[in-house]
Chains A and B, each alone.
Chain A
């Protein structure tokens, strides 16, 4: 009956559809190649912003920074996400991938888009940053490349959705889709919205750049562009939270504390993301305070709530699983006894902590209507989003890779010692890097700025010495993090292309099995929380969450206080 080739991974029990497997491998490999380009540009940019080094000349700096932004934020992450989408649909649901040919067409469009866009920037007439704010013009191919890439990604989203439909029709799984697939579905729905917004703004901008449209309003551009720019960050969050849940399940056999809560939290991302783009426009002219407050908060704080919920339930589910294994001493034995030497786990946990404590808190603080006045467009902003998109998303994807190398690529991880320290080098380096950027931003150092010393400016300005110290720390910790990123690329490339095969040759066959429900929970005597404390199933996690809240409240208060010290304005 079944005419499609599958193989079952003996170690993980996961079942791979042959065409899907090749697509996942290709997307993951392409993503890592882009990450390499992004990493080289990161090094050049970092060495230029490090005041003692100040490597590149100004024009090169702006060009390389543009490359860094588009390649990292758009191309690396979304290309890897395509692999994650195929994994969460075809592999997790044990289903054949819908229309692999369309998926390949999508892949080809993405690849062409990347090349066209990068070529435009390298050509030198598209150093406009990834935001390409009008009316600053870029080589039309800059927009064209982005459009092609987006269409390709959209096709990938449709293949994902189609696979879910097939899985349901062919009954490849019992009951409801797994939570991780639900998270991926969230990411996919947001991606479709995002790409639609992108089309609405990038197509007219492309037509404008080739002379078919006269004028694009700058405020309108920002409003619609950020519906793309912000929502795409919500894709990343949904995707990396899904990866966190997946890793908790893979490493610990953890199950969600409750499916209802975790799924509702994912749903909040979809429900409240569109208007959250307002927090990029808090000091823009032409929008009312009511609009700004409603849209930055109503929407954002419910999405924030969702992240705070995931921030509890992911480690909480690990804690419950560990306690069930007998690590019940005190509040934190479950955490101390976690496999800190396994990069799949350590990377995921550092990603969670860094995303929450640094990226999350700073994001909410600077997304407050008035506090944004003291932060907008300072280097605080890249400080914030390197914590979300680098420590959060990128590191989560890196840790997933260590799982995928044996399972998807059937290769042993080479240089296991390096792989072991990689998440620490990258994660901790980035933590220092992001906090130093925030420190410099608080002192008014600007983002996207070649010369904080204003050597050639007619009117100069002297930042305090502490600002230079912070930027020096940015340089040093940035280089450390780049070494961490380079280690990841080295380990991945060596393993995938030169690694020893795992086990026997994988054999493909026509038999498949149905994905069964999770085992029902065996509730211990005295209820779910018996293994915990205070009637809580996960008391240690709860304490961590309360600690998180205290840091949050304190930092929030400090920023209001700082704001109160600047000139009165109305």
Chain B
């Protein structure tokens, strides 16, 4: 019973390593360092990185920008609630609002084009989860996150809320339609 007894040697820190330990530590360390380097490498060579561009904002200021975009680029309305579907020009700034319990407005983006997608919350924390492509981000009130996205698949996407935000959490959805460029 020795792990529950004091070490046999008074100067246990001088006890030599067993070879099995030394070898494994070396291997594990190399692997750890490799995994560390992968992340900066992916920033250089990979295509899926968050820019981490973000600004402080207020619900009022953010809503004003989103409303301006909706006024300018709404192409139609949908659902019983007449939600606007907005088709902003490629390359432009797109404002998505998360609030209890919807993602507003619905968006229509062109396949293969890039957009600067801004997202912020008007109230509590929300989770932006784009399905089925499976892109997830945390959305906070007071912070405006900017993601430059390039939809390169044709399937329409549903935005699901994946941060618990109260009773209507599971009903908080939105839509990004993907259309062919004109």
Contact = CB atoms under 8 A, between A and B. Distances in A.
Interface of A: 58-59, 62, 92, 128-129, 133-136, 173-181, 217-219, 222, 245-246, 248-250, 253-261, 281, 283-289, 292-293, 296-298, 301-302, 304-305, 308-309, 312-313, 316-317, 364, 368-370, 372-378, 442-444, 446-451, 454, 456-461, 463-464, 515-521, 528-529, 532, 535-539, 541-542, 545-546, 549, 552-553, 556, 560, 563-564, 566-570
* Max count, chain B CB within 10 A of own CB: residue among A364, A443, A458: A458
Given A377-B162, A537-B18, A298 B48 contact: no
A222 to B, nearest CB: 8
Contacts of A446: 127, 129, 160, 162
B42 to A, nearest CB: 5
Contacts of B79: 458-459
22 contacts: A178-B7, A218-B143, A219-B143, A245-B3, A250-B4, A255-B2, A258-B15, A285-B139, A289-B49, A297-B39, A305-B28, A317-B3, A376-B138, A377-B163, A378-B134, A448-B162, A459-B106, A538-B20, A552-B31, A564-B48, A568-B47, A568-B48
Interface string B35-56: 1101110110011111110101
B32 interface: yes
B48 A373 contact: yes
A254 B17 contact: no
Contacts of A369: 39, 42
A257 B19 CA distance: 10
Contacts of B72: none
A281 B23 CA distance: 34
A308 B127 contact: no
A442 to B, nearest CB: 8
A32 B102 CA distance: 41
Contacts of B129: 377-378, 444, 446
Contact of A563 (B40, B48, B145): B48
A260 B15 contact: yes
A255 B8 CA distance: 10
Contacts of A538: 18, 20
A515 B1 CA distance: 12
B56 to A, nearest CB: 8
A457 B145 contact: no
A175 B140 contact: no
A297 B102 CA distance: 35
B138 A287 contact: no
A519 B5 CA distance: 9
Contacts of B136: 283, 372-378
Interface of B: 1-10, 12-13, 15-21, 23-25, 27-29, 31-33, 35-36, 38-40, 42-43, 46-52, 54, 56, 79-81, 83, 102, 106, 123-125, 127, 129, 131-145, 147-153, 158, 160, 162-167, 169-175
B162 A378 contact: yes
B52 A302 contact: no
B137 A62 contact: no
A135 B138 CA distance: 14
A246 B49 CA distance: 44
B102 A458 contact: yes
B20 to A, nearest CB: 4
B15 to A, nearest CB: 5
A245 B1 CA distance: 10
* Max count, chain B CB within 10 A of own CB: residue among A454, A456, A570: A570
Given A520-B9, A536-B18, 4 more contacts: A259-B13, A293-B39, A313-B21, A373-B135
Given A283-B137, A542-B23, A461 B160 contact: yes
A564 B18 CA distance: 41
A106 B175 CA distance: 51
A521 B171 CA distance: 64
A282 B56 CA distance: 18
* Max count, chain A CB within 10 A of own CB: residue among B32, B124, B166: B32
B153 A567 contact: yes
A517 B6 contact: yes
Contact of B140 (A178, A284, A450): A284
A292 B36 CA distance: 11
A258 B17 contact: yes
B36 A297 contact: yes
Contacts of A245: 3-4
A539 to B, nearest CB: 7
Which 8 A-B pairs give the minimum distances between C-beta atoms?
A255-B2, A518-B2, A285-B54, A285-B145, A301-B32, A175-B6, A461-B158, A249-B3
A538 B23 CA distance: 12
Nearest to A313: B21
Contacts of A442: 134
Given A258-B18, A289-B52, A374-B134, A180 B143 contact: no
Given A370-B48, A376-B137, A568-B152, A454 B170 contact: yes
* Max count, chain A CB within 10 A of own CB: residue among B2, B38, B125, B152: B2
Contact of B50 (A305, A375, A457, A569): A569
Contacts of B28: 305, 308-309, 549
Nearest to A516: B5
B6 A260 contact: no
A456 B171 contact: yes
A256 B21 CA distance: 11
Contacts of B6: 173-178, 515-518
* Max count, chain B CB within 10 A of own CB: residue among A254, A260, A377, A532: A377
A327 to B, nearest CB: 17
B1 to A, nearest CB: 5
B54 to A, nearest CB: 4
Nearest to A286: B54
B158 A458 contact: no
A568 B160 CA distance: 20
A312 B26 CA distance: 13
Nearest to A376: B136
Contacts of B131: 444, 461, 463
A517 B173 contact: no
Nearest to A136: B124
A84 to B, nearest CB: 12
A446 B25 CA distance: 37
A364 B163 CA distance: 22
Contact of B7 (A259, A296, A457, A563): A259
A406 to B, nearest CB: 16
